[in-house]
Amino acid sequence: EDKVVQSPLSLVVHEGDTVTLNCSYEVTNFRSLLWYKQEKKAPTFLFMLTSSGIEKKSGRLSSILDKKELFSILNITATQTGDSAVYLCATLQGAQKLVFGQGTRLTINP
């Protein structure tokens, strides 16, 4: 059975801290791994990772994929209260289907 597992499930930190969110996967027909941020409703796209070892960056967020060990991490530096959200990891299988992890609920306290 295809599995995407995120850890931790919940994380509370203070503004300014750096956080690392983890995602491991065991899926068939893997093509890419995607990170989404879910605040109130719609997941919004952050990164898509297809190749191992190539870091993707967007401002204070960065992510990397290890296809040998089957995991990805999402780093957020200098966290702000606006980073509070559920962060979803998903693998793209074939051309069609995203398989999601259960998400990490990140809370940034001022």
Partner 1 sequence: EPEVTQTPSHQVTQMGQEVILRCVPISNHLYFYWYRQILGQKVEFLVSFYNNEISEKSEIFDDQFSVERPDGSNFTLKIRSTKLEDSAMYFCASRAVRSGANVLTFGAGSRLTVL
Residues in touch with partner 1 (CB under 8 A): 31-32, 34, 36, 41-45, 48, 88, 90, 92, 94-103
The Cα 36–Cα 94 span in angstroms is 19
Q: How far apart are CB 51 and partner 1 at their closest, in Å?
A: 12
CB of 4 to partner 1, least distance (A): 8
CB 25 within 8 A of CB 3: yes
Q: From its phi and psi, is residue 53 left (phi > 0), alpha (psi between -120 and 50) or beta? A: left
**Which three-class secondary structure state does DSSP give residue 42?**
coil
Minimum gap (Å) between residue 45 Cβ and partner 1: 5
Amino acid identity, residue 103? G
Nearer to partner 1, 61 or 98 (CB): 98
Please report, as a single letter, which amino acid is at residue 42.
A
| Closer residue to partner 1, CB minimum distance, 18 or 102 | 102
Q: CB nearer to partner 1: give 17 or 32.
A: 32
